[in-house]
Structure 1
């Protein structure tokens, strides 16, 4: 967790046209009751799905389950 944010998933910015995998992943987490949001990491050119203020161990175990 960095600055109160935990990364649940990373998605390349160059996805196929019309494909929004980061948004779809975040939407699925929101349906589970998690306040997931998508942000852009300009340094790595990836979209990150994050939640704010979630304990690291819970978020890491959930992220591992989605791999």
Structure 2
């Protein structure tokens, strides 16, 4: 089973033209981490997540 681990959380109401979650995810990808940005509607935030298999990295 595949789950996700949250690496970082960013509020959705950032300044116009600012994409901190995407920038953080890109830094992680450059470091070899399979990071993706998803929207958490319940908390109105962008989450940077990475896949995690069977509860382990």
Give TM-score, length-normalised by structure 2. 0.88
SS, match of residue 11 in structure 1: strand
Structure scoring higher RCO (CA < 8 A, sep ≥ 6) equals: 2
Select the structure that is richer in strand.
2
The aligned residue for residue 42 of structure 2 is 43
Q: Which runs of 5+ in 2 are unaligned?
A: none
Structure 2 Cα separation of the partners of residues 53 and 9 of structure 1? 15
What is the RMSD computed on CA atoms of the aligned residues?
A: 1.4
The aligned residue for residue 4 of structure 1 is 3
Select the structure that is richer in helix.
1
Give TM-score, length-normalised by structure 1. 0.75
Q: Which runs of 4+ in 1 moved over 2 A?
A: none
Deviation of residue 29 (structure 1)?
A: 0.1
Count of aligned pairs between the two proteins: 54
